[in-house]
Structure 1
Amino acid sequence: MKNLTTSLLITSLFIISFSINSFAQNKKRKPNIIIINADDLGYGDIGIQGATKVKTPSINKLAAQGKRFTDFHAASAVCSPSRYALLTGRLPARENLYSPIFLKTSLQVETDRMTLASLMKTSDYKTAVIGKWHLGFGENSPVDWNKKLKPGPLELGFDYYFGVPVLNSHPPFVYVENRNVVGLVPEDPFVYNKKAETRFFDEKMDIDIIGGAKAAHQNYKDRLVGTTLKDKAISWIKENKESPFFLYFATTNIHHPFTPAPQFIGTSEAGPYGDFIHELDWMVSEIMRTLDEEGLADNTLLIFTSDNGGMLNRGGQVAREAGHNANGDYLGFKFDAWEGGHRIPFIARWPGKISPGSTSNQMLSNVDLFATLAAIIDYKPTKNEGPDSVNMLTALLGDPKEPVREHMVIAASSKNHLSIRKGKWMLIPAQGGGGFSDKQLGSHGFGGPGAFPFTKEINSDIENGEIKKNAPKAQLYNLEKDPYQSINLYKQNTKLAAEMQAILKQILNR
């Protein structure tokens, strides 16, 4: 009996010791980090920020469990430049990158430049990018899709890549895994200037630029892209849960064409555009569920954001007619220097670190994620690493009274509209939004002043869908008093505008 008691005591002490050691190890473990970067999701596309024609219960739940930033922006109102900023902590204007890239363009990030992935590798993180890449491949243009796509994500610090190589609206309509097109065989190569064997959807474009590779194209089923990417992300999380990991999950939702899986068709009151948001919300819920089931949620910083504002494409027009305003009441759309082009959702959850249900009105940018993640892993960037990034960790974890950022540079698709924010003031050094400007309702490129009669937006420079002849040459807005940019104050504040223009020049020259 004595030996049994002694044995039980030893066993109990072992269990207690093991539990204490395990707890200590868990306390010391570095946090996992996931960035969900949605595509073309506007500020007003989610319920927590005013949407009523679509339902986003999972994104709303994430906001209730974390912090929502109401003055967060993409460094560019355009997809490829915005992704460059997020991954490098560097303004895309420094690379003269203002437009989206397509299938013939080489890799737009220098392989010797530190990215979020190579940053996290300095602290022994497992790293992956799953989803839309849209930053080019290889060293030459046009890209040879029949060869290994190198350099690419793996040369920028990612251990693993799976996803849509360009975007879901433009070819090639295939998946790439690491450096190879999935399903590509030598006897059936890609051929430029040949029509691709891919299903047609409205606002799916340029399908005759590259064809061939029949088996590879058949792997890509438009209505299953969201499900496929979600499944890959979940599998990768499960496979790498024993180590600290960094996942950049770049969805194709809600970029056109709007191709939600069958179970989401007709579920919103905003047409296919809204249905695609419903699918995105489900994808977010699946990531959250996986973190819970795998016991990872409490030690994971989960960030949800977008690459730019919502777009007034044909799907967006249908949604607007139904009463859904992609960017809320903010002026403009994707590609514009106006607020609607770049003010984006940003929600962060980190249990025990970020106060649940909190909000912040700090002026911040997706270029700031580099310095923030560096601070989390206690890495000190050199001058050339994330040079335009500002550490926003104090705003994530607390409520600083002073501004984290003094200035912020915003790019539109027009180089002439490279803009600067200083506190409450926003300077756009040209007329109009700098984005799409087709005046014809139903056009894919509908936007700008010509769309005002349809959108019912109000701006003092614009009347009857035209810029007034006596409108100022530039635009200055007080976003504190006029967040929706209805009154241009440039003529009354030319001295301030000149000072801000000088600051912009100084920033770009440093």
Structure 2
Amino acid sequence: MADVMKNAGYATACVGKWHLGFGEKTPDWNGDLKPGPLELGFDHYYGVPTVNSHPPFVYVENHRVVGLLPDDPFVHGKKAKTKEIHEKMHIGDIGGADAAHALYDDYHVGTHLTEKAVDWIKQQKEDPFFLYLATTNIHHPFTPAPRFQGTSECGLYGDFVHELDWIVGEITMTLEAQGVADDTLIIFTSDNGGMFNVTGQGAWDAGHHLNGELLGFKFGVWEGGHRVPFIAKWPGKIEAGSVSDQLICNVDMVATISALTGVEIRDGQAVDSVNVLPALTGNPQNPIRDHLVLAASRRGFLAIRRGKWMYISGQGSGGFGGTKRGRHDFAGPAAIAYAGYTNSDIASGKIKPNSPPAQLYDLKKDLKQTQNLYHEFPEVVQGMETLLETYQPSSAPTPKKKKAKKQ
């Protein structure tokens, strides 16, 4: 996206969570971090180099860690001098760099990144710009600023949502103050459904159903795992309050921005992206996207959506497999049973022994995915399996090597 916008003459910035790595090798945190955002079309980057749950817990600006001193380098395998926050993952700890770590306060990451985004917008004045703001809200650990703590009545999860609402408000008010709100397209969306981790479980018990009526949670291919909010605002171009039922995906933003700017996508790039601009600015009667392939976290566990049908190539969600309340990876049949969802393949938190080998749902009639129709519509199943096979890598068996005979 940044390449397209930059080629169209826009200033480009990425603020927030990156989590795409800096090349194929282990990053040299004491040196230049690249290739990264600046090599992918962004003029400026400021943010969290991995994610707020994984080390190192520092900020990066452009190619360097903020606050890093030559005589205070990072040390692999050493625990960093940071606050112990619940649900932080200390996998592959990276310690040292005390000065850089000291600048990172978990409870002010959201407000700090917002300030950086607002400052960058103000610097652009009236020049066209593209900002990709990837907030750490509401990824775990849930660390809202003190002023938001206790405001939601459903724990830190809800408080973190309140802070996210404030972040969006700060961005929109800045656009208004700069006089560019009416000429700016704002898109608010997410990369996954809500995760049923420990804090999410507490919010659920308090009455906040993070994925609403949708079955399942993050990492799985049930609707709750991947169907996300998508809200767009563009005064004079998008009708306020309008709703579209078009099937779209976040990867479609590349082709959409290409259509918006007139910058052509290079051959071989964004081949899975579809221009969904007509769904934003109008109300097309025919489907823009014919189908969509989804991958759960379990290797080889694919699903395909086409029209009203959702076909899932295995049993369960294909996501995390935690089976007990209180586990960070609580998911799948056990979690939906705890949460009170109903699904015809599941009883007492487990897959029934006689359940079909795969799943088919009519989302138009059964958005909650209560009834697996695999056996009722074999012709639909066959068509979906045939279509899904076109996306599978070739799996020709590897010839067995013959053992050499002893002479």
Matched, 1:352 2:231: no
How far apart are the structure 1 equivalents of 2:250 and 2:80? 35
Kindly indicate whether the alpha-carbon contact (under 8 Å) linking 1:188 and 1:213 is maintained by their aligned counterparts in 2.
yes
SS of the residue corresponding to residue 110 of structure 2 reads helix
How far apart are the structure 1 equivalents of 2:344 and 2:196? 21
Matched, 1:157 2:41: yes
Could you say which residue in structure 2 is the equivalent of 1:101? Answer: none
Kindly indicate whether the alpha-carbon contact (under 8 Å) linking 1:330 and 1:483 is maintained by their aligned counterparts in 2.
yes
Kindly indicate whether the alpha-carbon contact (under 8 Å) linking 1:268 and 1:274 is maintained by their aligned counterparts in 2.
yes
- Tell me whether 494-503 or 233-242 shows the greater mean CA deviation: 494-503
Matched, 1:303 2:182: no
Could you say which residue in structure 1 is the equivalent of 2:196? Answer: 312
RMSD: 1.3
Cα shift at 1:506: 2.2
How far apart are the structure 1 equivalents of 2:216 and 2:301? 13
**TM-score computed with the length of structure 1 as normaliser:** 0.76
- Tell me whether 383-392 or 296-305 shows the greater mean CA deviation: 383-392
How far apart are the structure 1 equivalents of 2:242 and 2:280? 10
Matched, 1:132 2:14: no
Alignment of 1:7-406 (within 5 A): 116-140=1-25, 142-206=26-90, 209-406=93-290
Cα shift at 1:507: 4.5
Give every structure 1 segment of 4 or more consecutive aligned residues whose post-TM-superposition deviation is greater than 4 Å. Answer: 507-510
Cα shift at 1:202: 0.9
Q: Select the structure with the greater relative contact order (CA < 8 A; seq sep ≥ 6).
A: 1
1:360 is matched by which residue type in structure 2?
Answer: S
Structure 1 residue runs of 5 or longer lacking an equivalent are 1-115
How far apart are the structure 1 equivalents of 2:193 and 2:380? 27
Cα shift at 1:508: 5.6
- Tell me whether 452-461 or 425-434 shows the greater mean CA deviation: 452-461
Kindly indicate whether the alpha-carbon contact (under 8 Å) linking 2:215 and 2:336 is maintained by their aligned counterparts in 1.
no
1:133 is matched by which residue type in structure 2?
Answer: W
Kindly indicate whether the alpha-carbon contact (under 8 Å) linking 2:216 and 2:336 is maintained by their aligned counterparts in 1.
no
The match for 2:359 among 453, 467, 475 is 475
Kindly indicate whether the alpha-carbon contact (under 8 Å) linking 1:433 and 1:448 is maintained by their aligned counterparts in 2.
yes
Could you say which residue in structure 1 is the equivalent of 2:402? Answer: none
**TM-score computed with the length of structure 2 as normaliser:** 0.95
Cα shift at 1:205: 1.6
- Tell me whether 322-331 or 201-210 shows the greater mean CA deviation: 201-210
Q: Write the deviation string for residues 286-320 of structure 1: whole angstroms up to 9, x where unpaired.
A: 00100111101010000000111000000100010
SS of the residue corresponding to residue 415 of structure 1 reads coil
2:136 is matched by which residue type in structure 1?
Answer: T
Matched, 1:418 2:298: no
- Tell me whether 408-417 or 172-181 shows the greater mean CA deviation: 408-417
Q: Write the deviation string for residues 93-148 of structure 1: whole angstroms up to 9, x where unpaired.
A: xxxxxxxxxxxxxxxxxxxxxxx0011111111001000001001341x2221110
Kindly indicate whether the alpha-carbon contact (under 8 Å) linking 2:126 and 2:180 is maintained by their aligned counterparts in 1.
no
Structure 2 residue runs of 5 or longer lacking an equivalent are 395-407
